[in-house]
Amino acid sequence: MRGKTVLVVGGGSIAGRRVPRLLEAGALINLVAPEATTTLSDLAASGEIHWSAREWQPGDGADAWFVLAATDDPAVNAAVAVEAEAARTWCVRSDDAEASDAWTLAQTEFDGVTVGVSASGDPGRAAAIRDSIGAALRSGELAAPRTRGRGRGAGVALVGAGPGEADLITLRGLELLRQAEVVVSDRLAPQELLDQLADDVEIVDAAKLPYGRHTTQEQINAVMVERALEGKFVVRLKGGDGFVFGRGAEELDACLEAGVPVEVVPGLSSSIAGPAAAGIPVTERGVVHDFTVATGHVPPGPQSKVNWAALGAGNGTIVLLMAVKNRAAIAAALLEGGRDAATPVRIVENATTKNQTVRPCTLASLGETEANHPAVIVIGAVAGRGREL
């Protein structure tokens, strides 16, 4: 699909699962839907996909090599499929496998190997076989498919998915994700993981866009508890580690207060993994013996609980998360506290992914240096070592 146009009709959860995989394959996505999930609209805002915010119209697939009909209206899906058939373009209907002239394979990847499974239109069976093959690739032995959801009982798992790349989730996190009946997912969680789930898994989009529209923490807590009390197994999937500026403690408390069984699966925090992916150690023998991780979503001032003066007076590494918007104010506070204006800085964007970008600057120029979400900002001598991976 690399470089080829794909028409996706419908902006719901099915499209939300398929689009990241198509993007990973290099496809050019044209999304046609009056409304879209937060994740899809964010991809459109960043220019990764083109979104026509309207109903499907005849002719929309004229340039497409592949079409995904994923609306909640069977009549629209049928019309899309008929036009694709007339144009001799492969079309997958998400609502009716029998009426579809192509099926989406259940895919898994490991160490450069991609495996696709088709099970004659039975997505649940295909996903189960895919999971078994994936486990065998990772462990070196074949295993029977695990029972999802009710086989393990109702409850909630708070799973940290790692810093960005899908294969950095822990094996325990991946195992629980594959058993989930409901997944409450953040924008920063690897979206490719969702495409590995069976189509009957409920996906709740709890994306929180920086300084944009978002789902409140109270709503997230409520949906987790409600689904678990309905007898379902829920996975709360979020990027990095949920207990590092991820409000994981609030979610844990909500489950405990409601009497819902809960398990915590730590994830690889972007505060350490992000710098490491760019060749930056947060500590280094003979250079620096301490580091501090701070959130920058609140600027220095009365509302911030960070002692910026103390950080400015120290010489340890400073790792900033959620600090893109307030980076100029933070730099000014650190300079006022005593940090040298020439202190090296590295801004690591989209850490561990194919879109990873590293921008070097100094503390004095941090405020005027380009930076985009999501980013980890590293300040200190270790940021000036100049390693290139």
Coil, helix or strand for 183? strand
The angle subtended at Cα 249 by Cα 244 and Cα 253, nearest 5°, is 170
167 catalytic, yes or no?
A: no
C-alpha distance from residue 277 to each of 50, 290, 350, 357, 371 (Å):
30, 19, 10, 10, 17
CA atoms within 13 A on the CB side of 269: 16
The angle subtended at Cα 338 by Cα 334 and Cα 340, nearest 5°, is 85
Structure-token match 């032995």, residue found: 141
Could you please report the per-residue DSSP string of 332-372? HHHHHHT--TT-EEEEEESTTSTT-EEEEEETTTGGGS---
Exactly one of 131, 208, 232, 241 is catalytic; name it: 208
Q: Which amino acid is at 186?
A: D
Tokens of residue 200, six digits: 């009957």
**Residues 235, 183: Cα–Cα separation, whole Å:** 5
**Residues 16, 2: Cα–Cα separation, whole Å:** 19
208 catalytic, yes or no?
A: yes
* Count of Cβ atoms closer than 10 Å to residue 258 Cβ: 16
Exactly one of 42, 131, 186, 195 is catalytic; name it: 186
Active-site residue set: 186, 208
